[in-house]
Amino acid sequence: MKDAFLLVYRNMKERKARSALTVLGIMVGIGAVIALMSVGYGMQESITGQLVEMADVIMVMPMRMELGSIGAFGSFTDRDQEAVRRIGGIKDAVAMRGEMEEVEYKGEKFMVHVIGTDPKDVGALFGAIVKPEEGRYSKANDHKTCTIGYSIANDYFDDEIGVNDRLTINGSKFRVVGVLEKQGGFRSETDSEIYVTARDSVSILDNEDISEIFVRVRNIGEAEEIATEIEERIDDNHKLDDFTSAMTMGSAIEQMESIFGILQAVLIAIASISLIVAAMGIMNTILMSVMERTHEIGVMKAIGAKNRNILFLFLLEAGVVSAIGGVCGCIFGVIGAHAISFGIHTAFDVEIAAIVKPEVLLGAVVVAMLVGILSGLYPARKASKMSPVEAVRYE
């Protein structure tokens, strides 16, 4: 075996440039697949990871299908919230009243989504997921206080807003009591929202309608059933069909995962094209090697090599070339994956940590060798089938 490797090694050394180019071909193919898979996993993880924390949440929104378009139409009432609360298995149901309002700070004005919720509900429910980075949430007996999203505090206005600063919402002065942690990703809209107490919201918002109900269930297993029941109860209240959309985070995760699954499959399919090109490169290299060494093959047969000895030598060459390519491809792929996530971070300011799975690396090397050996099969068979006398005569 050692001598077989020696023969292969000497032969590759003799044709350094060609061997190196073939290795490079495999390396790029394998590297591309690894990089895209790792970035794909990273993307999936960064989005579904946030959702998993909220697996026991049901988001209830008024949503009616009209002529194939989906949009929010109408709103809920206190009666709807009560109806939802009465459903068994629900831990809590928080009503959110939200509207775009004009917010002013030091003379600058922006339209911001202002949401009113009952402070005790926020603490128990929403607060478990979205925590204040600084300060706290509004309390029940607070008067005209607000908690602001990360982007409101840092990005919207020229001056940063901190705890105890005052801003004007729809003409009323509010004191900031908390700044929320940066959320990003799937929950990035939270960064651009301002939370006030339900009581204050009634005084500043133009209406008292509930725009969204945020439900947490006791048992995640029952979430789907409960979601259906919520839809039925509220639809009954409004005497409408399909008025309510109650989406469990579980189903949202599934949807996301299937979208990412498709996205990833497409990316890998594209990357695989380079692998096919690399396979043809190997086949070409080994074929050239067989042609050039026809005479040598004849000599080896004349001194007693069997067909399978020759077959083995050329397959080994293909295997060695592709294994080296596979290993280099792993290194290239890992570097590439990190480069892509760095690129995404720089270009779009989205944090996606590439996830390099060991089984992907291992699989890549196996695939590389498989590709190599399969492409080596035809030339190697060709070599092994040569007639010794004709091959020896070949110069």
Partner 1 sequence: MIRTENLTKVYQMGDAEVYALHDVNLEIQEGEFIAIIGPSGSGKSTLLNMIGCLDTPTSGAVFIDGIDTGKLSENGLAEIRREKIGFIFQQFNLVHTLNALENVALPMFFAGVKRETRLKRAEELLANVGLGDRIYHKPSEMSGGQQQRVAIARALSNDPEVVIGDEPTGNVDTETGNTIIDILEGLNKEGRTVVVVTHDAEIAARVGRTKRMRDGRVLD
| CB crowding 142-164: b at 16 or more within 10 Å, else e | bebbbbbbbbbbeebbeeebebe
Measured from the CB of residue 372, what is the shortest distance to partner 1 in angstroms? 21
Given a contact cutoff of 8 angstroms between Cβ atoms, the answer to whether 38 and 334 are in contact is: yes
Nearer to partner 1 by C-beta: 4 or 340? 4
- Find the shortest distance in angstroms from Cβ 336 to partner 1: 35
CB of 313 to partner 1, least distance (A): 10
Total number of residues binding partner 1 (CB under 8 A)? Answer: 26
- Which CB atom, from 185 or from 388, has the smaller least distance to partner 1? 388
Listed residue (4, 12, 29) closest to 329, CA to CA: 29
In the set 129, 260, 388, 394, which binds partner 1 (CB under 8 A)? 388
Least Å distance, CB 371 to partner 1, is 26
**Residue 394 Cβ, how far from partner 1 at the closest point, in Å?**
11
Which CB atom, from 14 or from 78, has the smaller least distance to partner 1? 14
| Residue 389 near partner 1 by CB under 8 A | yes
Q: Which is nearer to partner 1, 160 or 390 (CB)?
A: 390
Strand 108-117 relative to strand 193-197: parallel, antiparallel, unpaired? parallel
Nearer to partner 1, 255 or 387 (CB): 387
| Binds partner 1 by CB under 8 A, chosen from 3, 66, 159, 349 | 3
Nearer Cβ to partner 1 (88/304): 304
Shortest CB 385 distance to partner 1, Å:
9
Closest distance of CB 314 from partner 1, Å: 14
3-state secondary structure the chain: CHHHHHHHHHHHHHCHHHHHHHHHHHHHHHHHHHHHHHHHHHHHHHHHHHHHHCCCEEEEEECEEECCEEECCCCECHHHHHHHHCCCCEEEEEEEEEEEEEEEECCEEEEEEEEEECHHHHHHCHHHCCCEEEECCCCCCCCCEEEECHHHHHHHCCCCCCCCCEEEECCEEEEEEEEECCCCHHHHHHHHEEEEEHHHHHHHCCCCCECEEEEEECCHHHHHHHHHHHHHHHHHHHCCCCCEEEEEHHHHHHHHHHHHHHHHHHHHHHHHHHHHHHHHHHHHHHHHHHHHCHHHHHHHHHCCCCHHHHHHHHHHHHHHHHHHHHHHHHHHHHHHHHHHHHHHHHHHCCCCCCCCCHHHHHHHHHHHHHHHHHHHHHHHHHHHCCCHHHHHHCC
CA-to-CA distance for 77 and 234, rounded, in angstroms?
Answer: 9
Restricted to residues 271-330, the positions that interact with partner 1 (CB under 8 A) are 295-296, 299-309
Q: Between 8 and 27, how does the x/- string for binding to partner 1 read (CB under 8 A)?
A: --xx-xx-------------
Closer Cβ to partner 1, 10 or 239, answer by number: 10
Which of 45-53, 78-86, 99-107, 383-391 is the region at the interface with partner 1 (rule: CB under 8 A)?
383-391
CB-nearer residue toward partner 1: 270 or 389: 389
Task: Give the binding range for partner 1 (CB under 8 A) out of 4-12, 42-50, 133-141, 200-208.
Answer: 4-12
Does residue 89 come out as left (phi exceeding 0), alpha (psi in the -120 to 50 range) or beta? left
- Select the residue interacting with partner 1 from 5, 6, 89, 139 (CB under 8 A): 6
CB of 309 to partner 1, least distance (A): 5
Min separation Cβ 286 and partner 1, Å:
16
Binding mask 163-192 for partner 1 (x = CB under 8 A): ------------------------------
Please say which residue, 82 or 390, places its beta carbon nearer to partner 1: 390
| Contacts with partner 1, residue ranges (CB under 8 A) | 2-4, 6-7, 10-11, 13-14, 295-296, 299-309, 387-389, 392
